[in-house]
Amino acid sequence: MAAEIVNPRSDSASDSTDQDGGAEPLDSFDPAFALHRGGKMAVQATVPIRDKDDLSLAYTPGVARVCTAIAEQPDLVNDYTWKSSVVAVVTDGTAVLGLGDIGPEASLPVMEGKAILFKQFGGVDAVPIALACTGVDEIVETVVRLAPSFGGVNLEDISAPRCFEIERKLQERLDIPVFHDDQHGTAVVTLAALRNAARLSRREIGQLRAVISGAGAAGVAIAKMLVEAGIGDVALADRKGIISADRDDLTAVKREVAGFTNKAGLKGTLEDALAGADVFIGVSGGTVPEEAVASMAEGAFVFAMANPNPEVHPDVAHKYAAVVATGRSDFPNQINNVLAFPGIFAGALQVRASRITEGMKIAAAEALASVVGDDLAADYVIPSPFDERVAPAVTAAVAAAARAEGVARR
């Protein structure tokens, strides 16, 4: 039986942050430091060790029989250890939330937080692993060597464009799910919200033209998923303007994106792309001028997801858009990855999937959208992370899709 990762709480703390966001202790009480003191998680045994008989079974000599059985039949590791129920949350600390490249140690509070979200919202045990290396091959080799201990790998807060290559290489070398949540979790939740926005406006997703601001990890993944889901057309814009096949300054990833987006052949700036567009998806930060939002099609959808400052403030977006979503919890329709990754991994682990396919991600998005049901409204196109129906719906859909696509092993 597996050890269970639990979320301890400390009763005492007196540290605080200084006014510049640093870690200098102050006399005043800081609830964030209080919650983090001693760490946010620990490992707890799921079997009791009350006497010498328990000890002899849990460790030597009894454990030897289990080890021998696994050596003879390696798949038994999934039945007699925690492997099939635990995920590695791996980072190099180079793109941590809004903090940027802060290094492995400073990234640990975020990775611990991610791990307890896995447990709280999906019942999945997860272990934070912060790596003191940033080279693509170094990271890949390290994760490959750690993989025998885990049923899946969640890549987290690794800067683009390295994140694309790291994920691709790991998927090629490992027979367990590898999932970069900054890409795919965001894409799944975005697609779910877009499906419901389209349903609310009685339109099909194939009738929509979308514009994405940002061609990093999230923007590229969202574009791929929207195309896979049948979007009418989608164009991405980076700092230099609309991504099109005739640009000679594109990275390899952006060249790939140019091959399946922007069917209309748009050129120019983000503002040029927004004229007449049905959907704006912001994952880049910065500010979109109000006049550009006003130029969108009637009944447009504005998903301004940058944190803490959306590309378009909701008060401005509501003047022109039928549906507005952000990445913030203090506005309706929060696009939050926690709606996706716990259930996606729970479903993949449940059937021992060898990978997470595009079909499994789309199934997750459809299941997430379905939770809203008949309560659909302009301010409710995506459920709350605390809606207890979310994880079971996503888990079941992902498991079923894995079986349908032939990647399930039980």
Q: Would you state the structure tokens that stand for residue 47, as one six-digit string?
A: 């079997």
Is position 380 annotated as part of the catalytic site? no
Contacts of range 321-325, beta carbons closer than 8 Å, 24 or more positions apart: 321/293, 321/296, 322/197, 322/200, 322/201, 322/378, 323/197, 323/200, 323/201, 323/378, 323/381, 324/378, 325/193, 325/197, 325/301, 325/381, 325/382
Q: Please confirm, yes or no, whether 224 is among the known catalytic residues.
A: no
Show the 3-state SS of 4-50.
EEECCCCCCCCCCCCCCCCCCCCCCCCHHHHHHCCCCCEEECCCCCC
* 301, two tokens: 């959808």
Structure tokens at 365: 């998005």
Is position 307 annotated in a ligand binding site?
A: yes
List 114, 169, 224, 361, catalytic entry? 114
Q: How far is CA 259 from CA 63, 224, 253, 268, in A?
A: 54, 11, 10, 17
**Residues in a beta bridge with 300:** 321
309 is in an annotated binding site: no
Q: Do the annotations mark residue 405 as ligand-binding? A: no
Provide the H-helix boundaries in 337-380. 341-350, 358-372
> Nearest Cα to 235, choosing from 278, 200, 199, 177?
278
The reply, when asked if residue 7 is annotated as ligand binding, is no
54 labeled binding residue = no
Question: What is the distance between the alpha carbons of residues 185 and 128, in angstroms, rounded to a whole number?
Answer: 18
Spot the catalytic one: 59, 240, 263, 319.
59
Binding residues for a divalent metal cation: 156-157, 182
Binding residues: 156-157, 182, 307, 336
Active site residues: 59, 114
Binding residues for (S)-malate: 307, 336
